[in-house]
Amino acid sequence: MPLHHPKHRHHHNEDVLPYHRSDDEAKPRRPYVPSSFPSSPASAAPPHRFLLLFAVVCLLLAVASLSFAVSVSRRPVPLQSPPDSVAFRCGRAEDSLRSFLASSGNYSAGDREKVLAVVGVHTELGSAARRAALRATWFPPNPEGVVSLEHGFGLSFRFVIGRTKDKEKMADLQKEVDMYHDFLFIDADEGKKPPEKMLAYFKAAYDMFHAEFYVKADDTIYLRPDRLAALLAKDRLHHRTYIGCMKKGPVVSDPNMKWYESSYGLLGNEYFMHASGSLYALSSEVVGAIATTNNDSLRMFDYEDVTIGSWMLAMNVNHEDNRAMCDSTCTPSSIAVWDSKTCSGSCDPIEKIKELHNTTLCSKSPTLPPELEEEE
């Protein structure tokens, strides 16, 4: 053991240490010096100099560590390229347009998109030709057109579709998605019944868009977006509104007949008032109630329009009948044109839609009839 020299003990006080220790522990000790290398009193540095040197070294190390940490925190993190399907999802639902705009740097992710209405044009995997006919006529032909229509009329158009486990069909659809970016994928498989797919659409649309109305349209109709916007923008006294071509009809209880309803025993002989399924609109408060309801608590009938109509009865909404939403031929005030009497939607939609679009009265007439414009 090295010897301790009492004469050096009076150079240090207890306040050198940040906490109190016993007298023996608080007394600084001289460093151990091997006997084979004796130090002379003239060359040996006092103990307090060693402590000072040690403290300076520790301080320098601390400053160096802090500088390194700050430089690392300020170093820009390399941005990763977003995957093919990134933002704007709700479960399996996805808005392909806003995902595309975000990935291309033309859009910043935020809260729900505020629009007058979301117009979901419901389509199927095998209906690429119908979608092409719509893009060639009244539906926006590219992402810029969709955005322009949204800014001009407040209507955000999407083709609404589910997914399938068929890889070949999904690959074909993905090519179309990558070309046009105008799809809203819903959290439902294509094999689901129409009422279930409709519920998935309203849930996805409500979660992604802050709209005053949520519109459902078939891909078999000819639509005037400007007139639809004018209809939806009107002031209304009722916050819970259900707009469409209202109808009734007999309940078919014979399983061998078209439009057979398996739950006919709950309905009686005639359906209640409900809008035709080719085109109708629900106000935000109505869709909000649907979107927040558990799926299992909503009754599903065999047909979408009847199912939606039954929910409207339970919610005490205002039924707004508008026959301009189901004209069979173009008029100065028609909003949508389709043959509602002989078939659901257009019987030959592709050629019919092109034919209508080439008619001046259908595609180039003013938004409002002249007499209504004068009243405005």
- pLDDT tens digits, 130-163: 999 999 999 999 999 999 999 999 999 999 999 9
At residue 104 the predicted structure's pLDDT band, cuts being 50, 70 and 90, is confident
For 345: left if phi > 0, alpha if psi spans -120 to 50, otherwise beta; the answer is: left
Closest to 242 measured CA to CA, from 202, 187, 207: 202
- pLDDT tens digits, 4-59: 444 444 444 444 334 344 444 444 444 434 444 344 444 444 556 666 676 666 67
| Cα Rg of the chain, angstroms | 37
Burial of 374 (0-12, 13-18, 19+ CB in 10 A): exposed
Q: What pTM was computed for the model?
A: 0.74
Q: How far apart are CA 187 and CA 10, in angstroms?
A: 81
